Structure 1
């Protein structure tokens, strides 16, 4: 905590470093992401090479979206110290928001084509009623709930992708942070919020088709003639662009004076408040902006997945998200990306039937059944033996460790420098 508060106090003095100088990983990450995106594009079925199948391109695109929401979780937990068990709820809300327009617009095209053959042209109300019957017939209804009021407008639904997660996070965060709820109690509150939301969505009268959720989202209205191979690579590009912009945004948030304050809140909230910073405002800003970006990630994820249901918002999803960040290495943006990508792709391999079963003679290990056990053991192992996660390995390789300077001030390699003579009061004690 000493180094963080010293950094906060000394921000105004000396030469101010540029954003890139403070965050050298940004350029490396963007370069790696660009090369990865280019490589997948060239090898995809959309370009004719067919080395990478369309289904795997979709898997990679979804993985990039999960990497983005993992960065959000890392900023909240790894940098600000808020263990949120509800960020996948914001992710799901973004998916539901864009899914409403996709279902409405797609159903409208089908209904219009079906009714165009009638002897008497249908009225606008008849078209709306037919759309309602198609969408909500599965839950025994035909009327549009109020929650679908803007579903016919792509622009308004895109606003909902940003506004609904942001507003929910703003209200929840304001109530929680102003009451100074911290630690495990705050985690329980975020989990309770997520559970309440998922249980509500499971009801048929929620207006979002209950347990059936929203389906057929991979069929993009207006692009009926476009192949899935092309659509998959377009969404892959969009996910890569969102991940790159999100990485730069949160690298900015966690650097400079703001980053020092945020990390200071994580290490010693009371001390940061004593220094005169309005802790609640910083926490609310971080919580809200990460919720908005998580909603955007969800809006890009579910058109590639093709379906969303309330199970996607269940608390267990947010717990998985925390596990990804812990395995990758919290407190490092690239660590969150590594953790999410590693676990997501490994999960697809184990649960998709690609991993061979192991016959022990007396028992056959089926990875589709044992994957979650393996994931749990991995989390425990990382917590006990590698608390810095996979990202910690990059720290050992990329970051030159400074010498442990002892003794009197002086020019020698092992001595403290004069400019390092600011001694903390606690150190004197």
Structure 2
């Protein structure tokens, strides 16, 4: 059967993007089958084989896969080792968490004041909400940062705008100064550390070390059981991951993706060829920060709580380890790495992995998991730089191009199929 994509290149370009990239279609099909299988086995919509707590774990894992995709775009394809993308992830969580906490507290305050002899004024309701939220840090007034916490649309806009603007400003300052390599990694790590230290303070406006809690309780949906809510978030997380994967695949394809890879491999040569390296790097840094924030906005309602420790630099280092283990420079590798390490971490740190008694010492995986993860990262870096994704490359059957006698070069009669096979 004749391959129409080789004989009719214009027809090939007119086909949908997913049809022109089978790997993207395979990923979407696998993601859809996974989501369908979990739904059938869930307690909320299926036969109850998978518990609600594990459904939440799977939903959070999908969110971590999405932020790993962002990390792969900025590091694996562009060569920017950012140690601050989990800060954007946390900002997205704080943005949606503010609305969740405000709206739920408002319902509680209104219900408690309903028994008063006189109807409460809006100011009394606002004061009651502020006292409930900030009483734990000794405050009773809303900080300016909570000015739009009552509005879901505005807080959803903040999920995108706040990390996007922060990444835009930081990236513009760093890239215009042509800071690269390890120095840029240190700068991103310093930004993350400064943000986390600021949020630890009680006067930061986000309850300091206490963070935001009770995020798993959706306002006005108290009658909806958690097994149903957990499935809603799993579906939303799967949809976000699917869309993020398509966007990432589209971004790295074509000329734009080639420029990103060229910047990764030889930035000076790309600049010499006349490309605005800073513009490319700033775009990808900002867009991936927004993707990370969206992932965080979906993650923390499933986790139920967010505090400054989630933004600490170690979290971004873990993110880089996930991508390295999965195989950076491969979108599916980032997803595999994040899912594999996240689920394995849950198993080891959740007390499910059996302890190993060596006689004189008992290995408890809760304490040794981080050491095992570090050793795995070193082993992958030294012996398997392509990560888990490299194993798939080895298993892939590479065949000669099926061109059916079509020219393989720019000139008529250039290397044909028969010659290519020899």
- TM-score, normalising length: structure 1: 0.90
Alpha-carbon distance in structure 1 between the residues aligned to 2:390 and 2:186:
29
Alpha-carbon distance in structure 2 between the residues aligned to 1:245 and 1:410:
40
Aligned to 1:8: none
Q: Is the CA contact (8 Å cut-off) linking 1:325 and 1:335 kept in structure 2?
A: yes
Aligned to 1:297: 295
Please state whether the residue corresponding to 1:126 is helix, strand or coil. helix
Alpha-carbon distance in structure 1 between the residues aligned to 2:93 and 2:400:
45
Deviation of 1:414 after TM superposition, in Å, equals 7.3
Deviation of 1:23 after TM superposition, in Å, equals 3.0
Match of 1:170 among 163, 168, 171: 168
Match of 2:100 among 75, 99, 102: 102
- TM-score, normalising length: structure 2: 0.92
* CA distance 1:412–1:286, change in 2 (3 Å): closer
Aligned to 1:214: 212
Aligned to 2:371: 373
Aligned to 2:334: 336
CA shift digits 1:279-331 (9 cap, x unpaired) = 11110110000000110000000000000000000000000000000000000
Alpha-carbon distance in structure 2 between the residues aligned to 1:189 and 1:416:
51
Alpha-carbon distance in structure 2 between the residues aligned to 1:159 and 1:53:
33
Deviation of 1:402 after TM superposition, in Å, equals 6.1
Match of 2:222 among 212, 221, 224: 224
Aligned to 1:266: 264
Aligned to 1:181: 179
Alpha-carbon distance in structure 1 between the residues aligned to 2:50 and 2:33:
16
Deviation of 1:400 after TM superposition, in Å, equals 1.2
Alpha-carbon distance in structure 1 between the residues aligned to 2:416 and 2:119:
91
Deviation of 1:401 after TM superposition, in Å, equals 6.4
Match of 2:139 among 138, 141, 144: 141
Alpha-carbon distance in structure 2 between the residues aligned to 1:371 and 1:244:
30
1:336-415 alignment, distance < 5 Å = 336-398=334-396, 400=398
Alpha-carbon distance in structure 2 between the residues aligned to 1:343 and 1:73:
15
Aligned to 2:280: 282
CA shift digits 1:119-151 (9 cap, x unpaired) = 122111011001000000000001000000000
Aligned to 1:45: 43
**What RMSD over aligned residues (CA atoms) do the two structures have, in Å?**
1.7
CA shift digits 1:381-415 (9 cap, x unpaired) = 11111110001111122351669xxxxx8669777
Q: Is the CA contact (8 Å cut-off) linking 2:400 and 2:421 kept in structure 1?
A: no
**Do structure 1's residue 35 and structure 2's residue 30 form an aligned pair?**
no
Alpha-carbon distance in structure 1 between the residues aligned to 2:420 and 2:68:
41
Alpha-carbon distance in structure 2 between the residues aligned to 1:350 and 1:326:
20
Alpha-carbon distance in structure 2 between the residues aligned to 1:148 and 1:64:
29
Deviation of 1:172 after TM superposition, in Å, equals 0.4
* CA distance 1:192–1:401, change in 2 (3 Å): farther
CA shift digits 1:77-127 (9 cap, x unpaired) = 000000000000000000000000000000000000011011122111011
1:310-325 alignment, distance < 5 Å = 310-325=308-323
CA shift digits 1:259-286 (9 cap, x unpaired) = 0001000001111111111111110110
Which deviates more from structure 2 when the two are superposed, residues 118-127 or residues 170-179?
Answer: 118-127
Please state whether the residue corresponding to 1:122 is helix, strand or coil. coil
- 5+ residue gaps, structure 1: 1-13, 404-408, 418-429
Alpha-carbon distance in structure 2 between the residues aligned to 1:357 and 1:64:
28
Please state whether the residue corresponding to 1:47 is helix, strand or coil. coil
Please state whether the residue corresponding to 2:386 is helix, strand or coil. coil
Count of residue pairs the alignment pairs up: 399
Alpha-carbon distance in structure 2 between the residues aligned to 1:323 and 1:411:
44
Q: Is the CA contact (8 Å cut-off) linking 2:90 and 2:293 kept in structure 1?
A: yes
Alpha-carbon distance in structure 1 between the residues aligned to 2:391 and 2:325:
12
Aligned to 1:3: none
Aligned to 2:155: 157
Alpha-carbon distance in structure 1 between the residues aligned to 2:137 and 2:396:
56
Match of 1:196 among 194, 197, 202: 194
Please state whether the residue corresponding to 2:115 is helix, strand or coil. coil
Deviation of 1:47 after TM superposition, in Å, equals 1.8
